[in-house]
Structure 1
Amino acid sequence: MTKRLLVLIFIVVSLHSINTTAQTETDQPLTTILVTLQERFGVQFNYASKLVDGVAIVAPNNSMNLEESLNYISEQSNLIFVSVSENIISIKEKTILLCGYLKDKDSGETLPYVTIQVDSKGTIANEEGYFEIDGLKTEDIIQIRLMGYKPLQRQVNYFNTSGCNTIYLLPYQEKLAEVTVYDFLVRGIDKLDNGSVELDFDRFNILPGLVEDDVLLSVQALPGIQSIDETVSNINIRGGSHDQNLITWDGIKMYQSGHFFGLISMYNPHITQKVALRKNGSSASETDGVSGTIAMKTNEYLNTGFKGSIGVNLIDANGALDAPLGKKASLQVATRKSVSDFVETPTYSNYFDRITQDTEIESNTAAVTNSDIAFDFYDASFRLLFHPSEKDHFRINFMYTANELTFNEVAQLSGTDVSRESNLDQTTIAGGVNHQRDWTEKFRTQLEIYNTDYKLKARNVNILQDQRFLQENKVSETGIRLKTLNVLTPRINWTNGYHFVETKVTNLADVDDPLFVRLEGEILRTHAIFSEIGLSSKNTATQLNLGIRFNYLDDFKKQVWEPRLSLSHSFWESFNLEVLGEFKHQSTSQVINFQNDFLGIEKRRWQLSNDESIPVITSKQGSAGLSFNKNGWLVNAVTFYKSVDGITTQSQGFQDRYEFARTSGSYDATGLDLLIRKQFGKNSLWLSYSYLNSEYFFEQLPETRFPSNFDITHAMTLGANYTLGELLIAAGLNWRTGKPKTRPVPNAEIVDGEVNYDITNGERLDDYLRLDVSGKYEFSWGENKSVQVGVAVWNVLNRENTINSFYRANPLGEAQQFLQSSLRITPNASVRLIF
């Protein structure tokens, strides 16, 4: 009996002990445990409620001190404890360091300079393909992108974070252009094997004189790209006029380039990811742009997290948002507006004075004064990405831009002040839809549809004659392009397609007294088929693209055949040979009828070829280049020849004896583009030089051959970038010979009341010299937020550069000279919050 009693007592005590242990080890809410620790140790915990809500663990043993208790909780949860003061402890979420080595899945080769991004922060893999990125959470989305490879997008917990492992990327079946020279000029500017130069604003460093990224000002840093009047609406590629450049935004052709009538780009850099500049060797799928192509592209990948930025500088205020819409769509919106409605900064004043030189706004007639002058510009961009399946990708783009100028003209009539308003509006509305379908791993189709509408409208009043003069220039264009890609072998791709373009150009001149109305409208439809084959050697050292494009101009019953060539060959590890060639045509051009058209501000208007007095412009060009790239040294030299036929005197901006000539002709251009760059770690120093010999040929003019108006014989830039932590500094010295000019005959300047001109373009303006500096600094401000501050000074030396000169006969019978000057010293500053 006693034994049985002892056994029963033992069983009861054991069960009680087991039950007590089980109750002790039951999970408790972390908030309860923290309250207990606060009472025991006299401390206070600061934390966001979302960090601990729903978290339950077994409470630390009462025998543990405070440090041991916190270490225990940290091991049991995804939290860390940071002492803020003696009695205050902050609770934060644990972060993860992800590192790895990136390699090609097929070849096993190292992949350098790959972009790794998480929301608003990211990094670039080094030359060995190694990267590391800290401060991650398990639910963060990692995006790994490299041109020519399928993007990898995974949550952090997908990767092995216990060490630095190898991560493989899968090559695209499609043959994409590959980088032959990284950081061609500065970080974010690369040279591709198809002959183009690409600017990647996700990796972009800083250029001299720019406080923020500017798409069309940035391309002017490259050799062979000039602007004779410092504007983005007059970019001259190897001696060509601006209208000979094809400018596209996500495949949509644009007929307007700038805000402030050309002083800054109208393309918002915060929604434009990449810009490809091609001087020669275009793809057969591209039309227009007999002088060159500037193709802007936005991001093709869905954003998985909300991000954006808000900024202001001394010219405009701007903002951008990128937000996911579920797992299959994302939306991007960006906008800008000038600050002139709120404050007139010195930068704004300098810009305004620059664009109004020798115009009716700057100096009206002696009896008329201008008042209440107001200028405004703004733009809005919209993008919707939708990927309903792994094989289907849709993209919708929309852009609206505007420049608006108004002022009152005041005169005294019969003892009474009379005021009437003159104004000028320039707008662009453009939209496009893109659908890409991957039918199989080796066959893809892409359909692009776009419409762009450009309008330039001016209303000019003449109070003294009680007259109103209305001018309009409109361009409306619709394009449809279908492309197919066949991967025949891993080293052979075949692209085919059809391209349809309908362009309508309308010009209106309307005078109310005496009544006069002239409305001219023309339409041209072009059909094209193209085919291109891409070949690469087994070791990818040689890349060859051969293409042919057949165009049929419906209204003229005209056929135009255009072969295209792009060859890149790397040898001896450090050398690369490049050969490019193309034939092209275009049917639109910009002309000047009178220098005072559209108030003299934006006097160029678009016109359509009629294949008679206004020919279809055709071009042929070829170039050969050699590069050496080793140990941070880069030497790149390219020689070229270009011939363009079908230009008109109206499109070349004459202001001498040929100002009112109406004839067509051609020009030839030969030259050399040279770049020497040396990298010192993250710093770089470069020297670029361009030589150009460009000459007109007009059979119907008294002088059949003479230098082109855009013949800048020598141009040189010396630049440097310096990086110190998060501080970026850049400086650049720009020098070039002056543009050609025509002066009157000495001692016989006026004949029969008109200026008696000497040899056309027989002299030059003084040499142009400009020094620019800029700096940018970025620092963190809260979690996943940063602030970027920038300062820049354009023309630090305050040099008065003459960019144009012309003569007019004055009432005294003299040839009066008019000089137009470049921007004087112009500072700018910006502040941007990135989140």
Structure 2
Amino acid sequence: MFAQDNNGKKPLVEILVDLQVRFDYEFTYADQIVKNIFILTPDPKLNLKEAVEYLHETTGLEFRFLDGNYIVINKINTAFNICGFLIDQVDQTPIASASIIGDADATISDAKGFFSLTVADKNEIIDIRHLSYAPVIFTSADFNTKACDTIKLSLQNESLDEIVLANYIAKGINKLADGSMQINFKNFDLVPGLIETDVLQTVQALPGVQSADETVSNINIRGGTNAENLLLWDGIKMYQSGHFFGLISVFNPLITSKVSLIKNGTGVDYTDGVSGTILMNTDDKITDKFTGSLGSNFTNANVFIDVPVGTKSSVQIAARKAINDFVETPTYTAYYDRVLQDSEVDKNSSQVVHSGISFDFYDTSIRWLYRPSSRDVIRFNFIKVNNELIFNEKDEQNQQASSRESRLIQNTTAEGVYYQRDWSNKFKTSIQIYETDYRLNAINVDVLENQRLEQENKVSESSLKLKTTYISSPQWSFINGYQFIESGISNLTDVDDPRFLTLETEVIREHAVFSAVNFSSESRNTQIKGGLRYTYVEKFKQHLIEPRIAINQRFADYFNLEIAGELKHQNTSQIINFQNDFLGVEKRRWRLSNQEEVPIIQSKQASLGLSFSNRGWLISATGYHKNVDQITSQSQGFLGPHIYDQSIGSYTVNGLDVLINKRIKRISSWLSYSYGKNTYTFDEFIPSKFPNNVDVTHAVTLGSTFSAANFKFSAGLNYYTGKPTTRPIGNQQVEENTIQYETTNSSRLEDYLRLDASAVYEFKIVSGIRAKAGVSVLNVLNQENRISNFYRVQEGQIEQGTKNALAFTPNAVFSILF
């Protein structure tokens, strides 16, 4: 009908794009619904609701507003109608603005709680959802077609944070009112160089987050070390983060649906992580049908299933396994070369021949979700992670050959139980218990000296957290709770000839109570979250009081002002004793504070930010000051004159994070810039103040993504100024086998430059089965980027060693989704 006369009319698709840019809303629809529809452009004087009403009257389509600035467009089907009234189970009041979603249609309840929905048949699934109430699921056959049923809803089990900036950098990345960044992988575009949603690689696309050595096991948030980050997977603390000893995240992207990054203003219910917090969560929805995927990329094969167990629970299982036992891909080769640089495998004597070198890794993740009633939810999590490197050393001297095996094993096993109960529409409680166990073990055999060295680092941690939430009004809510944590860490060193054995075991128990007040104005323009956490450390009889605050103020329609501050502490550090620890592949071992050479780390941070969002533009700038005290020099990875020194110090960072993002139709482009001046203070060193080992003064990222219905493409350029380094004094001879160095960190490595690209295409195979194919390239230009350099004495001469970042690294993926 609309295609007969297009005089003066425009395609509906173009009009929708114009409205998206003007009002910062996003229309969601199937292409065939709006295809070949031409209408006159709405009057520019109309507001959004008036313009949408005009579109509805002109096209006959249904436009439905959803939370999060989304509008769903559907065709109206009068095949079969159902209706009902939604009321609160406790006070019997009507529930407005609830979403009632069918297979092909959806609607929202009005002020009286009334809704009417068109369905195709009696077997259609009807999903009823509201931000404040627990979801319920029916079939259309459950409804009375001659009258409207009354449906009672109970209070939702968890509160949702306010989104203040949507599609931050790319679709699916949102900034919340408390200043945290949230990535929803269910609604995610693509970041350059990635074809799968690797959690810890994705967060590095955000301003203020980098990796000093290009690994996921060494993420630096605002200039801190990786050991200063709190990693929680569904509330379970993780001490291991990387496969391939740091190049791939251990958190399976198929089961991890959402991740939040908190750089400042952390909630009082979290402890540790003096530099930042990364929260990873599985899906909180119980599925009503069997779904899954099966696929492979150039590093691993993977499988995922989501299985309903009755109508009240479902189980998710995800697993991955390295494929290099079957085929050695270009990605494996690039990772292999990167990991083994300057390791025991790479630098052994010419008299030693290596054979049978093999990498292997796997992970298994399980999540069981159960809702025994509308007021109760139970979740069980289990994760098992394993990395393994094995090689043989063969000595061919004195016409006799001997061969012995060296190996490195790194694994984690963790499990947790979470239970939440809604006692009323204003009060709820939760309890979480977890146990996490980490082990790093290496057996290093020196066939020339006939010596065997075993090193082991073990972490075992248990935690109990109780939390209550009381909502006194739509504006005020209160959080209170208690947490107990017991952490035990042991370190073993065992040499067989000459015989030497040390075993150190430490345990710390701490009790904490916390309380917070959250305020939201009626207009939602003012959001304040503030609280206090008190911790008592049994072993040291130490009392710690840590205030936290996050304020967001929206003004002049398009601006947001953010203020955040926090005090935090942590009892764990990662120590690097020697550069040949654990075969030189994984050199860091966890240690507990002992208030002597390893004290409790304490931090304080404050930040101020301003954001602007309108007409597809997003501009954000945040300045911050951060101080971390009581760090040990052995945790910082010195490679120069202080490599074996033991000293206690601090570092201070003054920085600025800036982001400029522009969305035009299906294209999102961004430019981010981070400035940081990161300075150590170690009173026992000369000089006492000098640049931090991970002081990246300037970091620039330029990227763009294109997203269509089935195709996504992304490319980006990363530029960092070189990290500090310490070089030997020019023309200086080696004195008593000791290198004479210049002032600590007075030189810089070469600047870092890397271009990445990736593309993913999804297509239908048969009804109910889809496929995804993708390719990516890290370091498209094959730029040689130096991560670090170091110096050692060989036969009275200074020898320089270097470590380089990944070279040209292609990857590909193919998955079947069902």
Return the TM-score normalized by structure 2.
0.85
CA shift digits 1:170-211 (9 cap, x unpaired) = 985965311111111111111110110001111111111012
Is the 1:404–1:425 contact (alpha carbons within 8 Å) kept by the matching residues of 2? Answer: yes
Structure 2: tracts of 5 or more residues without a match: 1-76, 109-116, 146-150
> 1:603 aligned to 576, 580, 587, which one?
587
The within-5 A match list for 1:360-375 is 360-375=344-359
> 1:336 aligned to 289, 301, 320, which one?
320
**How much has 1:805 moved relative to structure 2?**
0.9
**Are 1:540 and 2:520 an aligned pair?**
no
Instruction: Tell me the SS of whatever aligns to 1:330.
Output: strand
CA shift digits 1:612-666 (9 cap, x unpaired) = 2211000000101111000000001100000000111100000000000001100
Match of 2:766 in 1: 782
Instruction: Tell me the SS of whatever aligns to 2:207.
Output: coil
CA shift digits 1:66-104 (9 cap, x unpaired) = xxxxxxxxxxxxxxxxxxxxxxxxxxxx9989999xx99
Match of 2:247 in 1: 263
Match of 1:702 in 2: 686
Match of 1:494 in 2: 478
**How much has 1:753 moved relative to structure 2?**
2.3
Is the 2:254–2:304 contact (alpha carbons within 8 Å) kept by the matching residues of 1? Answer: yes
The within-5 A match list for 1:445-456 is 445-456=429-440
Looking at structure 1, the residues matched to 291 and 267 of structure 2 have their Cα atoms a distance apart, in angstroms, of 34
> 1:650 aligned to 606, 614, 634, which one?
634
The within-5 A match list for 1:365-444 is 365-444=349-428
> 1:712 aligned to 669, 672, 696, which one?
696
Is the 1:329–1:386 contact (alpha carbons within 8 Å) kept by the matching residues of 2? Answer: yes
Instruction: Tell me the SS of whatever aligns to 2:423.
Output: strand
Residue type of the alignment partner of 2:379:
R
Looking at structure 2, the residues matched to 122 and 496 of structure 1 have their Cα atoms a distance apart, in angstroms, of 41
**Are 1:592 and 2:555 an aligned pair?**
no
Distance change (3 Å), C-alpha of 1:667 and 1:442: same
**How much has 1:723 moved relative to structure 2?**
2.1
**How much has 1:515 moved relative to structure 2?**
1.2
Looking at structure 2, the residues matched to 821 and 478 of structure 1 have their Cα atoms a distance apart, in angstroms, of 38
Match of 1:297 in 2: 281
Structure 1: tracts of 5 or more residues without a match: 1-93, 126-132, 162-166
Match of 1:316 in 2: 300
**How much has 1:758 moved relative to structure 2?**
0.3
Looking at structure 1, the residues matched to 789 and 478 of structure 2 have their Cα atoms a distance apart, in angstroms, of 51
Instruction: Tell me the SS of whatever aligns to 2:261.
Output: strand
**Are 1:834 and 2:817 an aligned pair?**
yes
Match of 1:825 in 2: 808
Looking at structure 2, the residues matched to 98 and 751 of structure 1 have their Cα atoms a distance apart, in angstroms, of 90
**How much has 1:155 moved relative to structure 2?**
3.4
**How much has 1:814 moved relative to structure 2?**
2.7
**How much has 1:815 moved relative to structure 2?**
2.1
CA shift digits 1:317-374 (9 cap, x unpaired) = 0010000110111111100000011101111011011000011112211211111101
Looking at structure 1, the residues matched to 190 and 524 of structure 2 have their Cα atoms a distance apart, in angstroms, of 32
Percent identity among equivalent residues? 48
Looking at structure 1, the residues matched to 144 and 196 of structure 2 have their Cα atoms a distance apart, in angstroms, of 38
**How much has 1:134 moved relative to structure 2?**
12
Match of 1:42 in 2: none
Residue type of the alignment partner of 2:348:
N
Looking at structure 1, the residues matched to 243 and 120 of structure 2 have their Cα atoms a distance apart, in angstroms, of 40
Instruction: Tell me the SS of whatever aligns to 2:179.
Output: coil
Is the 2:157–2:376 contact (alpha carbons within 8 Å) kept by the matching residues of 1? Answer: no
Is the 2:97–2:130 contact (alpha carbons within 8 Å) kept by the matching residues of 1? Answer: no
Instruction: Tell me the SS of whatever aligns to 2:494.
Output: strand
**How much has 1:375 moved relative to structure 2?**
0.8
The within-5 A match list for 1:512-551 is 512-551=496-535
Instruction: Tell me the SS of whatever aligns to 2:539.
Output: helix
Match of 1:623 in 2: 607
Is the 2:457–2:490 contact (alpha carbons within 8 Å) kept by the matching residues of 1? Answer: yes
**How much has 1:135 moved relative to structure 2?**
11
Instruction: Tell me the SS of whatever aligns to 1:755.
Output: coil
Is the 1:531–1:547 contact (alpha carbons within 8 Å) kept by the matching residues of 2? Answer: yes
Distance change (3 Å), C-alpha of 1:656 and 1:96: farther
CA shift digits 1:739-791 (9 cap, x unpaired) = 11111111225333211110111111111000001000101111211101111
Is the 1:147–1:178 contact (alpha carbons within 8 Å) kept by the matching residues of 2? Answer: no
Is the 1:541–1:569 contact (alpha carbons within 8 Å) kept by the matching residues of 2? Answer: yes
> 1:722 aligned to 706, 723, 736, which one?
706
Looking at structure 1, the residues matched to 285 and 446 of structure 2 have their Cα atoms a distance apart, in angstroms, of 54
**How much has 1:539 moved relative to structure 2?**
1.0
Distance change (3 Å), C-alpha of 1:204 and 1:340: same
Distance change (3 Å), C-alpha of 1:324 and 1:628: same
Instruction: Tell me the SS of whatever aligns to 1:216.
Output: helix
Instruction: Tell me the SS of whatever aligns to 1:599.
Output: helix
Looking at structure 2, the residues matched to 191 and 743 of structure 1 have their Cα atoms a distance apart, in angstroms, of 42
> 2:466 aligned to 467, 482, 486, which one?
482
Looking at structure 1, the residues matched to 712 and 82 of structure 2 have their Cα atoms a distance apart, in angstroms, of 26
Looking at structure 1, the residues matched to 522 and 118 of structure 2 have their Cα atoms a distance apart, in angstroms, of 38
Looking at structure 2, the residues matched to 804 and 745 of structure 1 have their Cα atoms a distance apart, in angstroms, of 18
Instruction: Tell me the SS of whatever aligns to 1:432.
Output: strand
Match of 1:804 in 2: 788
Is the 1:646–1:665 contact (alpha carbons within 8 Å) kept by the matching residues of 2? Answer: yes
Is the 1:322–1:330 contact (alpha carbons within 8 Å) kept by the matching residues of 2? Answer: yes
Looking at structure 1, the residues matched to 106 and 816 of structure 2 have their Cα atoms a distance apart, in angstroms, of 19
Kindly report structure 1 stretches of 4+ aligned residues shifted beyond 2 Å. 94-100, 103-111, 114-118, 121-125, 133-161, 167-176, 749-753
Match of 1:354 in 2: 338
Is the 1:628–1:634 contact (alpha carbons within 8 Å) kept by the matching residues of 2? Answer: yes
**How much has 1:149 moved relative to structure 2?**
6.0
The within-5 A match list for 1:18-57 is none
Distance change (3 Å), C-alpha of 1:489 and 1:725: closer
Looking at structure 1, the residues matched to 754 and 515 of structure 2 have their Cα atoms a distance apart, in angstroms, of 45
Is the 1:749–1:757 contact (alpha carbons within 8 Å) kept by the matching residues of 2? Answer: no
Q: CA RMSD in A?
A: 2.9
Is the 1:211–1:791 contact (alpha carbons within 8 Å) kept by the matching residues of 2? Answer: yes
**How much has 1:725 moved relative to structure 2?**
3.2
Distance change (3 Å), C-alpha of 1:696 and 1:143: farther
CA shift digits 1:720-741 (9 cap, x unpaired) = 0112331100000111101111
Match of 1:10 in 2: none
Looking at structure 1, the residues matched to 591 and 102 of structure 2 have their Cα atoms a distance apart, in angstroms, of 45
**Are 1:740 and 2:727 an aligned pair?**
no
**Are 1:573 and 2:557 an aligned pair?**
yes
Looking at structure 2, the residues matched to 774 and 168 of structure 1 have their Cα atoms a distance apart, in angstroms, of 47
Match of 1:634 in 2: 618
Looking at structure 2, the residues matched to 169 and 567 of structure 1 have their Cα atoms a distance apart, in angstroms, of 32
Looking at structure 1, the residues matched to 209 and 154 of structure 2 have their Cα atoms a distance apart, in angstroms, of 36
Looking at structure 1, the residues matched to 107 and 476 of structure 2 have their Cα atoms a distance apart, in angstroms, of 30
Mean Cα displacement is larger for which, 720-729 or 375-384?
A: 720-729
**How much has 1:411 moved relative to structure 2?**
0.2
Is the 2:721–2:752 contact (alpha carbons within 8 Å) kept by the matching residues of 1? Answer: yes
Residue type of the alignment partner of 1:223:
P
Match of 1:816 in 2: 799
Return the TM-score normalized by structure 1.
0.83
Looking at structure 2, the residues matched to 600 and 183 of structure 1 have their Cα atoms a distance apart, in angstroms, of 41
Is the 1:174–1:493 contact (alpha carbons within 8 Å) kept by the matching residues of 2? Answer: no
Looking at structure 2, the residues matched to 234 and 750 of structure 1 have their Cα atoms a distance apart, in angstroms, of 33
Instruction: Tell me the SS of whatever aligns to 1:347.
Output: helix
Aligned pair count reads 727
**Are 1:326 and 2:310 an aligned pair?**
yes
